[in-house]
Amino acid sequence: MSRRIIGLTGNIATGKSAVMRLAAERGALTIDADRVVHELLASDTGIQAQVVAVFGEGVRRANGGIDRAALGAIVFGDPARLGQLEAILHPAVRLAIARRVAASDAPVIVIEAIKLLEGPLVAMCDQVWVTACARETQMARLRVCRGMDEASAAARIDAQSPQADKIARANVVITTDGLLRETEAQVAAAWAAWESWGAQGQVGRGEEESTPGLASG
């Protein structure tokens, strides 16, 4: 069977990391785009120079790396500044991920990116999987797992594109409000359906159809 690439996305605190772990347990190579960004900001001197040129010396650490907190304070809530940062990072992230994909012999690769649908990575993917949950679940996770207060959690959620927009473009939607075993069951069903379709040559990059029973607008 030819290699297949799943793009995994979803808004903050909707369970992407759990789905990534479940995919890894099934033998997938998992690539976290946010981790790739961390690596680029920490060690890629070309990216560092571009970021400093646009955002100033105040975002540079003493060791030459980028202070992500300082950079985040500049771009959070400012779409124009965020767009400038993404113009620097998106091409570099896509190239770094493409190299990892090319170097791997894994039959399934899962790329997690919170802005998968807004950037160039989606073009690499055969299917798009979206994690989703109720706003109340997101709020609770941000408070308990990340120590955010109510206002900060709400601000982080509201700063992202609507969850419904991602769901509308998904091949598979995995809801994560329930127990972990319920998420596991959804991943298992989506995996089995895709393996079956893939064996018949029916899954291809750019298809718009959703997996029956798992994705709906």
The model's confidence at residue 200, banded by pLDDT at 50, 70 and 90, is low
Q: Are residues 51 and 15 in the same domain?
A: no
Residue where one domain finishes, among candidates 105, 124, 157: 105
Q: Are residues 79 and 143 in the same domain?
A: no
C-alpha dihedral, 70 to 136 to 112 to 202, nearest 10°: -160
Q: Are residues 208 and 189 in the same domain?
A: yes
Please write the tens of the pLDDT for every residue from 87-112. Answer: 999 999 999 999 999 999 999 999 99
Q: Are residues 18 and 96 in the same domain?
A: no
- Position 212 pLDDT exceeds 80: no
Residue of 110, 94, 72 whose CA lies nearest to 187:
110
Please write the tens of the pLDDT for every residue from 155-180. Answer: 999 989 999 999 999 999 999 999 99
Query: What pLDDT is attached to residue 77?
Result: 85
Residue type, 35: R
Q: Which domain holds residue 151?
A: 1-28+107-217
Q: How many domains does the chain have?
A: 2
